Amino acid sequence: MKVLLLVDIQNDFMPGGALAVPEGDLIIPVVNSLQSQFDLVMATQDWHPASHKSFASNHEGKNPFEMTELLGLPQVLWPDHCLQGTSGADLAPALEANKIEAIFRKGTNPDIDSYSGFYDNGRLKSTGLADYLRGKGVMQLYLAGLAADYCVYYSAIDALQEGFETFVIENAIRAISQESYAAARNDIQEKGGKIIQSSDLLAN
Ligand code: VGL
Ligand code: ZN
């Protein structure tokens, strides 16, 4: 059984959003046309309280995209984004959402960031996604969404570690930085993940 996991396809990651990913909107038609190929469509949603320590605004004298540490881990400081209950946190309206069976929220603990859909960055807490998928007999996980070099990347690495056969659909993701995506792509492949194009799926 094959699942499509849509990572953080939210307004704040769209052009004009609080933490815009370049060309983030271009993945939406690709993702919409892919959904009918899957047995199950799932999504994650970045969902931060205003007090979240990944926000530069919560650190005196710090600017967005500077570095700090949270619980001993290196942390990029972000512009305020995906605030719980705001339209910036909503799934992008152009995304076909009716087939999404469940949405796993993350980033709710103000003390630590949570890029992966499976665990926070310190692995303090599981979202329950891996057990949910195993409970449904999912073996193969296909990833699409934003951002390729953060939440898609971390989700892919955790998916591999959880034992799922993991595919990243490269024309259905976009990165914040091309340089960090290049490193992320190599790491995914080194750990056994596969980088594919949506045309590989539509062909069979
Ligand atoms: C993300 C940075 C901060 C993402 C979320 O969805 O990739 N990136 N929060
Ligand atoms: Zn975030």
Instruction: Give residue limits of the domains in the chain.
Output: 2-199
Ligand 1 proximity of 120 Cβ (cutoff 6 Å): no
Query: What is the value of pTM for the model shown?
Result: 0.98
The CB density around residue 82, as the number of other CB atoms within 10 Å, is: 25
Element (DSSP H or E) covering residue 53: none
pLDDT in tens, 172-182: 999 999 999 99
Ligand 1: atom nearest CA of 10 is 6
What are the residue numbers of the active site? 8, 106, 151
Q: Quick one: pLDDT band at residue 103, thresholds 50, 70, 90?
A: very high
> CATH fold of 2-199, please?
Rossmann fold (3.40.50)
Start-end of H helices in the chain? 27-34, 129-135, 151-161, 178-190, 198-202
The model's confidence at residue 204, banded by pLDDT at 50, 70 and 90, is low
Q: What is the SS3 assignment for 170?
A: strand
> Ligand 2 centroid to 164 CA: how many Å?
24
Average pLDDT, rounded, for the chain: 97
Identify the band that residue 202 occupies on the pLDDT scale cut at 50, 70 and 90. confident
